[in-house]
Amino acid sequence: MAGPISPTLFPEGTELLENDIVVGGVSLRSIAETYGTPVFVYDEGALRARCREAAQGFDDGVAFASKSFLSGAMAKLAHEEGLCIDVATAGELDLVLRVGVPADRVILHGNNKTIEELRRAIDAGLRRIVVDSFDEIDRLASLVSPDNHVACLIRVTPGVEAHTHEFIKTGQEDTKFGFSLATGDAQRAIDALRAVPGIEFVGIHAHIGSQIFDLAAFGETVKVLAELVTSNGVKELCVGGGLGVAYVEGEPTIGIPAWAAAVREAVTTAAIAVDQVTAEPGRSIVARAGMTLYTVGTRKVAAGRNYLAVDGGMSDNPRPVLYGSGYEAVDVARPQAERDGTFRIVGKHCETGDLLIDEAALPADIAVGSLIATPVTGAYGYSMASNYNRALRPPVVFVKDGAARLVLRRETLDDLVRLEV
Ligand code: LLP
């Protein structure tokens, strides 16, 4: 039996009332009535606060990792709060430029950038390209000229093992990303970039993985890179993203300021003299600011287990299926109630693996028609959403100062047939 859900899983300032949850001054019940379910809700104040923490903790050039959650409104918000935007595909790049983020505030990533992606980045005048392979250096060399130049970082594999899920750790040697430090490829890549007129080599980037709670792993990365940074007179060091967030009760909350302080301390200890220490937080900016609302449609017992089926599932949150990620749930109409029942919360997709929460604590008498919220779904939920079973992607609503605004509408059946020829 679990007690009431912890307010720390919601954006700061959230009110868990007797009969409703109020986020950004807006009732979640009213959002479900207005926009229907499933629906993603983000507290705009919390998004802005996290962006400001990143902008203050790191130097100019710190970027929001847009893969964690991207919409036009989010790109504009991150830009307004002083962050650059990190994009990794033509699709992400196109959206941020379309909504007016200046090209010199955009950074392009990717381990297999196409010539078209590189051309668009160079022609638009992007701030930085983070180079990932020797093949990419060849492609870049064919595109740049002294009049059409570009500033580049190289992505380095530092050989640091982060303690996180195997699919989202990237700092180890056996990886598709970046240039190995240990084999000398990183130095060879720097030399190759420097030999191309039109490419300005400015810095070193490392991203060791995601959902990392161990700040020492970031310090270790800085230490391991120090020699390469110093011997090449590098101007910029980017430590990537990866700060972990608490998804369920009892997980630690570290926060962006402490992360930035740990990175800066490691830079000082390693006596690295760069102009800019930057990072690319994604999850730590958007995860806790966002939540998903669902309506319970079916309750049944099978093999002694209580099942609740909701009107979404792996199409709006594939993380439990992909990574075995845990979440909490709350009955929005009584957030202070004891959660004395245990339920497997499943979606409406045609497979057994379509699971949102394996063992969710909820009031035992929760009924069909109840509105439930899963907090901390702001990162890699909407951005990895799919149309599996031709599900319609949910809308996204931003709340702030008592007002709600729709930033992405719900998909329609007409949207689903727009690709038919
Ligand atoms: N920079 C680079 C180069 C990245 O590849 C990533 C994430 C980030 C920054 C942002 O990392 P964050 O601060 O969000 O941890 N879909 C997985 C996460 C994949 C992360 C991919 N790269 C999940 O849902 O957990």
Among 119, 82, 52, 16, smallest CA distance to 332 is for: 16
Helix axes 134-143, 115-124, angle to 10 degrees: 50
Say how many Å lie between the CA of residue 196 and the centre of ligand 1.
Answer: 30
Instruction: For residues 69 and 173, state if they share a domain.
Output: yes
pLDDT digits (tens, 9 = 90+) for 370-414: 999 999 999 999 999 999 999 999 999 999 999 999 999 999 999
Question: Which residue puts its alpha carbon closest to atom 23 of ligand 1?
Answer: 380
Residue 1 forms part of a structural domain? no
Ligand 1 atom, smallest distance to 284 CA: 13
Instruction: For residues 191 and 93, state if they share a domain.
Output: yes
**Can you tell me the distance from the alpha carbon of 121 to that of 126, in angstroms, rounded to the nearest whole number?**
5
**How many structural domains does the chain have?**
2
Residue 421 forms part of a structural domain? no
What are the angstrom distances between the C-alpha of 287 and each of 50, 211, 251?
A: 10, 11, 14
Instruction: For residues 304 and 236, state if they share a domain.
Output: no
Say how many Å lie between the CA of residue 59 and the centre of ligand 1.
Answer: 20
**Can you tell me the distance from the alpha carbon of 390 to that of 408, in angstroms, rounded to the nearest whole number?**
18
3-state secondary structure of 245: coil
Decide if pLDDT at 296 tops 90: yes
The boundaries of the domain holding residue 198 are 44-286
Instruction: For residues 14 and 59, state if they share a domain.
Output: no
Q: Where are the alpha helices (DSSP H) in 328-418?
A: 413-416
Say how many Å lie between the CA of residue 241 and the centre of ligand 1.
Answer: 6
Strand 290-302 versus strand 371-375 pairing type: antiparallel
Residue 78 forms part of a structural domain? yes
Residue 24 forms part of a structural domain? yes
**Can you tell me the distance from the alpha carbon of 393 to that of 413, in angstroms, rounded to the nearest whole number?**
10
3-state secondary structure of 416: helix
Residue 353 forms part of a structural domain? yes
- Residue 52, phi then psi, degrees to nearest 5: -65, -40
Which CATH number fits the domain that encloses residue 59?
3.20.20.10
Residue 367 forms part of a structural domain? yes
Residue 162 is predicted with a pLDDT of 77
Beta strand extents in 313-367 (DSSP E only): 330-331, 341-346, 355-362
Global pTM value: 0.97
Joined tokens for residue 414: 């007409």
Out of 51, 84, 238, 350, the active site residue is 350
SS (H, E, C) 269-317: HCCCCCCEEECCCCHHHHCCCEEEEEEEEEEEEECCEEEEEECCCCCCC
Neighbour-count burial for 152-171, b at 16+ CB within 10 Å, e otherwise: bbbbbbbbbebebeeebbbb
Residue 2 forms part of a structural domain? no
Instruction: For residues 215 and 121, state if they share a domain.
Output: yes
**Can you tell me the distance from the alpha carbon of 243 to that of 379, in angstroms, rounded to the nearest whole number?**
12
Residue 67 forms part of a structural domain? yes
Decide if pLDDT at 74 tops 80: yes
pLDDT digits (tens, 9 = 90+) for 110-162: 999 999 999 999 999 999 999 999 999 999 999 999 888 999 999 999 998 77
Band of pLDDT at residue 174, cut at 50, 70 and 90: confident
**Can you tell me the distance from the alpha carbon of 57 to that of 248, in angstroms, rounded to the nearest whole number?**
26
Residue 168 is predicted with a pLDDT of 63
Nearby residues of 193 by Cβ (< 8 Å), 6 or more positions away: 131, 137, 152, 154, 199, 201
Between 285 and 162, the higher pLDDT residue: 285
Among 260, 286, 312, residue at a domain's last position: 286
Instruction: For residues 304 and 165, state if they share a domain.
Output: no
What is the maximum span of the chain, computed from C-alpha positions, in angstroms?
71
Vertex 320: Cα angle to 158 and 54 (nearest 5): 50
Using a pLDDT cut of 70, give the percent of the chain over it: 98
- Give mean pLDDT, residues 195-216: 96
Residue 234 is predicted with a pLDDT of 96
Which CATH number fits the domain that encloses residue 29?
2.40.37.10
Residue 161 is predicted with a pLDDT of 76
**Can you tell me the distance from the alpha carbon of 184 to that of 171, in angstroms, rounded to the nearest whole number?**
16
Band of pLDDT at residue 13, cut at 50, 70 and 90: very high
Decide if pLDDT at 339 tops 80: yes
Instruction: For residues 357 and 368, state if they share a domain.
Output: yes
Instruction: For residues 325 and 242, state if they share a domain.
Output: no
Joined tokens for residue 46: 């919390």
Pocket of ligand 1 (CB under 6 A): 65, 67-68, 86, 109, 168, 207, 210-211, 240-243, 280-284, 319, 323, 380
What mean pLDDT, rounded, does the chain reach? 96
Instruction: For residues 82 and 33, state if they share a domain.
Output: no
Instruction: For residues 64 and 107, state if they share a domain.
Output: yes
**Can you tell me the distance from the alpha carbon of 413 to that of 420, in angstroms, rounded to the nearest whole number?**
12
Say how many Å lie between the CA of residue 209 and the centre of ligand 1.
Answer: 7
Decide if pLDDT at 171 tops 70: no
Instruction: For residues 167 and 295, state if they share a domain.
Output: no
Ligand 1 atom, smallest distance to 242 CA: 15
Among 286, 317, 335, residue at a domain's last position: 286
Among 270, 286, 302, residue at a domain's last position: 286
Instruction: For residues 149 and 259, state if they share a domain.
Output: yes
Active site residue 350: yes
Ligand 1 atom, smallest distance to 319 CA: 24
